[in-house]
Structure 1
Amino acid sequence: MGEKQYLLDKTLEAWKGKRVAVSVSNEHSFTGILEDFDEEVILLKDVVDIAGNKAKALVIKIEDLNWIMLL
């Protein structure tokens, strides 16, 4: 698991400050700017969901992520 965590950390660090799309619990999709992350959560700012609803920020548990992609 250490190697997987290293790859995730390395990738998220490179994507900080950039717009990403995420799928949470296979039900909800969001886009936002990757503000920060740790081993448990990621923080997005300037968030928009698939229906166009906007939020200033969103905290997502990493274990609830299905996928994350760089836009």
Structure 2
Amino acid sequence: MGEKQYLLDRTLEAWKGKRVALAVSNEHSFTGILEDFDEEVVLIRDVSDIAGNKAKALVVKIEDMNWIMLL
């Protein structure tokens, strides 16, 4: 997992402060600004879901994410 985690860390670091979209548990999609992350979770702010619901922040376990993309 070392090299994969390293790639994830480098990518997320480059995406900090930028708008991303992510899917959680293959059921829910969200967009927002990538605020921060660690080896277990990502923190997204100014969040919207596919239905248009809005939230100030969202914390997601990395293991629960199916994908994340830079918008």
For residue 2 of structure 1, report the CA deviation from its aligned partner.
Answer: 0.1
Alignment of 1:1-71 (within 5 A): 1-71=1-71
For residue 4 of structure 1, report the CA deviation from its aligned partner.
Answer: 0.1
Gaps of 5+ in 1: none
For residue 61 of structure 1, report the CA deviation from its aligned partner.
Answer: 0.2
Structure 1 consecutive aligned stretches of length 4 or more whose deviation exceeds 3 Å: none
Q: Take 1:58 and 1:69, find their aligned partners in 2: how far apart are those partners?
A: 16
Aligned length: 71
How high is the TM-score relative to the length of structure 2?
1.00
Gaps of 5+ in 2: none
RMSD: 0.2
For residue 26 of structure 1, report the CA deviation from its aligned partner.
Answer: 0.0
